[in-house]
Amino acid sequence: MTTALVQAAPPAIPDLIRTFLDGRSPHTLIAYGRDLNDFARFLTDSRQEALGRFFSQPAPAANGDVLRSATTSWPGTWHQPPSTADWRPSGP
């Protein structure tokens, strides 16, 4: 007797995003939304198209898109130093 492996369909993109974001703080959701908008602008100008492209390609290509988007600067968005960038510990 042989048992056939049945490949289940991957979850829909909105379901993946919803599951990932479930339970996050409002501040985290805002930050992730900004990051996702930046990523979408880098790829296609559309969140839906950017996520579709991200999830439809092999992992190395998807990782490459993320790395390229993270190293590209958009004025007024990412790549601003965090507010703690100049923080130095006090003490002796």
Q: Is residue 92 part of a domain?
A: no
User: Is residue 37 assigned to a domain?
Assistant: yes
DSSP for 20-63, please give it.
HHTT--HHHHHHHHHHHHHHHHHHTS-HHHHHHHHHHS-HHHHH
Is residue 62, in this structure, part of any structural domain at all?
yes
Number of domains in the chain: 1
Report the predicted TM-score, pTM, of the whole model to 2 decimal places. 0.61
pLDDT per residue, tens digit, the chain (92 aa), is 555 566 666 667 778 888 888 999 999 999 888 888 888 888 887 888 888 899 899 999 999 998 888 887 555 554 444 455 555 555 55
Judge whether 38 lies within some domain.
yes
User: Residue 89: inside a domain, yes or no?
Assistant: no
